[in-house]
Structure 1
Amino acid sequence: MSNQLIVRGAPQEYSCHEGSWSTLPDHLNARKLTKLLVLHGNDSWEAAKPYLPDLSEFDSTYEYYGGVCTDQRTSEVVALFQKSKTEAIVAVGGGKITDLAKQAAHQLRCPVIILPTLASTCAAYTPLSVMYFEDGAMDRFDIFPQANALVLIEPRVILASPRKLLIAGIADTLAKWYEGDAIIRQLDTVPVEVQVAHFAAKQCQENLLTYSYDALAAMDQQELNAAFLTVVETNILLAGMVGGFGDEYGRTAGAHSIHDAITMIPESHHQLHGNKVAYGIFVQLVIEKNLPEIEKLLPFYQKLELPTCLADMNMHFTEEDYRRVAERATIPEESIHLLAEEISPEIVIAAMKELETFITDKK
């Protein structure tokens, strides 16, 4: 870990309220933007349309993002932007659309405006992109020196999004505490910026354990409530603050390293990012010899139907699978090495197997 700490605390502008998308033309005019490249998905685009403002006064090019966030697709978006001579990218959709837009905007040195349709990650808030190989395995994440220009959250769109995606976001955000705390508690002196990150990480955990059930009830009833808004902003804003203020001290540790490694297994590709992170939290807690915390979280996981072990994801590893995942999780550049514990492929294999036994005994 480097000694240099850089704060990337927030987008240039952020707003979350009913009707926020209707303000987009005002924001575009204030920024003197007239030509737009709008990246969107398929299902999310249909869900977004009723809430999108009239953009007829702007010269807009609309493009399906392609279902992936890869270097190849980024190059194609960059070429389209240059051909259409647009001035900004507007991303309407989930995490991969957002990450693709941010990567392209960075290369083009243009503003990126984000209208998230999900609260499954903090992608809308953070100036980084998670990049994948063409086969779907995770490649890397790139951090950018410029903030996202504008984030507008319309909670009614997210209220109508698939329930399982909010749950995946809850799991991904819960990891902010378990990973951030594992790193920060090792510090003898905690810089003020990292104190902010630590506070935000703890607030993530507290908000999610307190409000998730009522937030999901709001989705079931299709009625906004305070709990739903709290969970949405926890998954996007608070989660983004952890890495934004903590930098390397607040991004990822063991849980995401396990996630990254599991993406090598084709059978994992049908699992949402947050589900694999949820499993990674438990593997990290086994490595930390903190089984009581797993017992504390089990009822929460079970009520949200989050995976507690490989079997819950319909995955059954061979010895070769365990070895491949453990070796990938412990490559030198992986953040699992930020844990205080000794880390090796053998330790990760033992932790994954111990978790399977522990969960089986609890069922």
Structure 2
Amino acid sequence: MKVTVGPAQYIRNKGVLEEAGTYIKNFGKTAALIGGHTSRGIIEGSLRKSLSEHGVSLQHSLWYGGESSQKNIDRLVADLKGENIDVLIVTGGGKAIDTVKAVAYRLNKPLVVIPTIAATCAAATPITILYTNEGEFIGIERKSKAPELVLVDSEIIMNAPVRFLIAGIGDTLAKWFETKASVKKATPTALNQTAIAIAAQVYQTLLQIGKEAVTSVKTQIVTKELEDVIDTVILVSGSVSGYGGDDCRTAGAHAIYSGLTIFPEVHETYHGEIVAFGILAQLCMENTGEDELKSLISYYQEIGLPFTLKQMGITNLTDRQWKKLGEITVTIEDMANMPFDVTPEMVIKAVRKADEIGNGMLTAAEVL
């Protein structure tokens, strides 16, 4: 049995970026920063200053490439392979983090993650989600590593557009719905039952304080509720798959997310937003009562998550497109974690039904 439960160390505080060198110096004297253009712009000045104060030289600042793709991973490995770099630092969102987790694995280097948004649990998992350079889902890469250190500056998260936090809540909600589905195929153990208990708490936390955390970002105040949701999205949710392993994996909601990425128009919608809709479709596949779906949609409305295809830019799918969606979605690895066999027809029916229920709850403002 092998269990990887999140990063070796997680530190979350307001202003922690100013102290980054205190922690990163333990991994060596030379570093490379990799991330998105925006995220590097946000942290690089403060990071470079803090590293310098503690005797660490930031020798490179590199763009990760825009997608968590094999091409970008290979390029970064080639660029850094001959360099005298002791530690890799990645900043940004899930795709940047996933890219550099794979690079760090290949180069066998310590990895420090400094998220600038709380939109996924990528910083707390040892896997990389691979996409094409155009953003279409390919699969899960396990030649990846969990970080040695995650530094989360809650003020930086607060300053990011609120839509990122909302998407993070959507992605994290799926932990409960997918874990309780996937674990049905497993023999109960101390580990997978612990994972289920954590997933249930994650769900309750988001229901109880998700709206308050979103309000914190909108009003630009770092509150306990915001920091609790940040920890839930980035760290606690990752421990579900950490403890649960293959028994508690992503399932129908993420498979439907991956299937929907075949449509270019959805690429402007964030991962967690699409996953949130995927939860509704998964519940339809499980024959969940409409009242439960409507209750969940009401929560989506409170915090601003999409619950129809149109809200994600998808309109007027042809019969051929529906067929392709169903056929591709059932080939996604996540779908095999459902406790029953899923056919393309089941996917199409579930997505249509979720969309129908969602459209029935649209308000006039949401239609606009």
Flag as ranges the 4+ runs of structure 1 deviating above 4 A. Answer: none
Q: Compared with structure 1, are the counterparts of its residues 7 and 323 closer, same or farther at alpha carbon in structure 2 (3 Å cutoff)?
A: same
- Shift in Å, 1:49: 4.3
Question: Quick check: 280-289 or 38-47, which moved more?
Answer: 38-47
- Name 2:57's counterpart in structure 1: 59
- Match of 1:151, SS? strand
- Match of 1:152, SS? strand
Residue pair 1:38, 1:92 contacting (<8 A) in 2 also = yes
Partners of 1:207 and 1:144 lie apart in 2 by 32
Partners of 1:51 and 1:170 lie apart in 2 by 28
- Name 2:9's counterpart in structure 1: 13
TM-score, with length taken from structure 2: 0.92
- Name 2:366's counterpart in structure 1: none
Taking the TM superposition and a 5 Å limit, the aligned residue runs for 1:1-363 are 6-31=2-27, 33-49=28-44, 51-52=46-47, 53-56=49-52, 57-60=55-58, 61-144=60-143, 146-187=145-186, 189-290=187-288, 291-316=290-315, 317-331=317-331, 334-363=333-362
Residue pair 1:6, 1:245 contacting (<8 A) in 2 also = no
- Match of 1:83, SS? coil
- Shift in Å, 1:147: 3.1
Amino acid at match of 1:14: Y
- Match of 1:190, SS? coil
Unaligned runs of 5+ in 1: none
Question: Quick check: 229-238 or 52-61, which moved more?
Answer: 52-61
- Shift in Å, 1:94: 1.3
Amino acid at match of 2:117: L
- Shift in Å, 1:82: 1.9
Residue pair 1:7, 1:193 contacting (<8 A) in 2 also = no
- Shift in Å, 1:65: 1.8
Deviations 1:199-231 (A, max 9, x none): 111111111111111111111111111100111
Partners of 2:244 and 2:310 lie apart in 1 by 34
CA-based RMSD of the aligned residues comes to: 1.7
Residue pair 1:271, 1:313 contacting (<8 A) in 2 also = yes
Residue pair 2:19, 2:50 contacting (<8 A) in 1 also = no
Amino acid at match of 1:15: I
Q: Compared with structure 1, are the counterparts of its residues 255 and 334 closer, same or farther at alpha carbon in structure 2 (3 Å cutoff)?
A: same
- Shift in Å, 1:311: 1.7
TM-score, with length taken from structure 1: 0.93
Residue pair 2:31, 2:88 contacting (<8 A) in 1 also = yes
Question: Quick check: 13-22 or 277-286, which moved more?
Answer: 13-22
Deviations 1:108-160 (A, max 9, x none): 11111101111000011111111111222011111247431111111110010
- In the alignment of these two chains, the number of paired residues is 356
Amino acid at match of 2:212: D
Residue pair 1:288, 1:341 contacting (<8 A) in 2 also = no
- Shift in Å, 1:83: 3.4
- Match of 1:204, SS? helix
Partners of 1:220 and 1:361 lie apart in 2 by 28
- Match of 2:34, SS? strand
Amino acid at match of 2:154: P
- Shift in Å, 1:272: 0.6
Partners of 1:196 and 1:58 lie apart in 2 by 40
- Shift in Å, 1:45: 2.4
Q: Compared with structure 1, are the counterparts of its residues 311 and 58 closer, same or farther at alpha carbon in structure 2 (3 Å cutoff)?
A: same
Partners of 1:93 and 1:314 lie apart in 2 by 25
Question: Quick check: 46-55 or 119-128, which moved more?
Answer: 46-55
Residue pair 2:192, 2:244 contacting (<8 A) in 1 also = yes
- Match of 2:121, SS? coil
When you count helix as a share of all residues, which structure comes out higher? Answer: 2
- Match of 2:160, SS? coil
